[in-house]
Amino acid sequence: MRQADQVRAFLFEGAGIRGRLVRIDQTWREMLERHEYSADVAALLGQAAAAGVLLADNLKGRGSVHVQIQGEGDLRLLLVQCDHALNLRGLARGERLDGEGSMRELLGEGRMMVTVDPGPGQERYQGIVALAGESLAESLEGYFRDSAQLLTRLWLGVSGGSAVGLMLQRLPDATIDEEDWRTLGLLADTARLAELAELSAAELLRRLFVGYDVRLFDARPIGYDCRCTREHLDNVIRLLGREEIESILAEQGGLELNCEFCNKAFQFAPEEARAALGGESPDGSTLH
Ligand SMILES: [Zn+2]
């Protein structure tokens, strides 16, 4: 049976190898709403979203994970943020977001930055890798190898209305049988994206990893939650600067800004926009 918007961890008993399965349906579609992304741009964003969830599901505290893919092609940025409760949001930015093509054709040369914020009182961690090979999965494998020192394989993709992912990873500090690792990778290579999107986790693991004893953990639901507020947009107002804001106010009598993630519009009256700038009067002297 189909189970939407969830991630499930599993463990190969006695092998020192764990895995995760992720499927994002509704949440991914909400991410695409009100944006004019081509199918290929949407697919890359879906893969980045699946990666974000796979990383965030490993958080122990109340933190978040940011996956940022920067390119030099028509597509400049894919940004996905997922917190410890698996609230997910993401966006694509670039010169053109309606282009078709492979990851390389859309992004060109680029790099992937993974920022793990483990939560209050703990230090942020950032790993940066160059985009490698022909898929985001390959680049992320490079991140795990170079930055997290965790032997990892990843399969990411989209199928129908779902973004899906499968991860195999050596348990930290575990000794593994190289033959097991190679075999499990080869078996996972045979998984089709449609199977990842349509089969239940139990059924998929049973079909893929015949002969292995797999312990399946409880599913965790994924949700879309942009958490955008007017206060967040105050930063955008400050970035635009006084001159730009005053010119918009003079022309339009007010200010409308859209959240970059969900595209929701926020209206600011002139006094609200000026308050966000920091309470300075147009000539630069302080009002308070
Ligand atoms: Zn928003």
CATH numbers and ranges of domains, the chain: 6-224 (3.55.30.10), 230-277 (3.90.1280.10)
The whole-angstrom distance between residue 153's C-alpha and the CA centroid of its chain comes to: 17
User: In sequence order, which ranges of the chain are alpha helices (DSSP H)?
Assistant: 26-32, 39-56, 103-107, 136-146, 178-189, 193-198, 201-208, 230-240, 242-252, 270-277
- E strands of 84-185, at which residues? 87-94, 110-117, 125-130, 152-159, 162-170
For residue 47, give the nearest of 162, 144, 143 by alpha carbon: 162
Which residue bears the tokens 């993974």?
Answer: 114
Measured in Å, residue 123 CA sits from the centre of ligand 1 at 26
Amino acid found at 263: N
Q: Output the CA 263–ligand 1 centroid distance in Å.
A: 6
- For residue 60, the model assigns a pLDDT of 87
Categorise residue 67: left if φ over 0, alpha if ψ from -120 to 50, beta otherwise: beta
**Distance from the CA of 199 to the center of ligand 1, in angstroms?**
32
User: In angstroms, rounded to a whole number, what is the distance separating the alpha carbons of residues 7 and 20?
Assistant: 7
Long-range contacts of 36-41 (CB under 8 A, 24+ apart): 36/97, 36/98, 37/92, 37/97, 37/98, 38/97, 38/98, 38/99, 38/100, 39/100, 40/99, 40/100, 40/101, 40/102, 40/106, 41/75, 41/92, 41/94, 41/97, 41/98, 41/99, 41/106
**β-bridge mates for residue 22, sequence order:** 7, 165
Q: What is the pLDDT of residue 54?
A: 97
Q: What per-residue confidence (pLDDT) applies to 2?
A: 52
> How many angstroms separate the alpha carbon of residue 90 from the centre of ligand 1?
10
pLDDT in tens, the chain (288 residues): 455 899 999 999 999 999 999 999 999 999 998 899 999 999 999 999 999 999 999 998 889 999 999 999 999 999 999 999 999 999 999 999 999 999 999 999 999 999 999 988 889 999 999 998 889 999 999 999 988 889 999 999 999 899 999 999 999 889 999 999 999 999 999 999 999 999 999 999 999 999 999 999 999 999 988 888 888 888 889 989 999 999 999 999 999 998 888 888 899 999 999 999 885 444 444 444
Cα of 227 vs centre of ligand 1, distance in Å, is: 6
| Alpha carbon of 266 to ligand 1 centroid (Å) | 10
CA angle 64, 264, 45 (to 5 degrees): 50
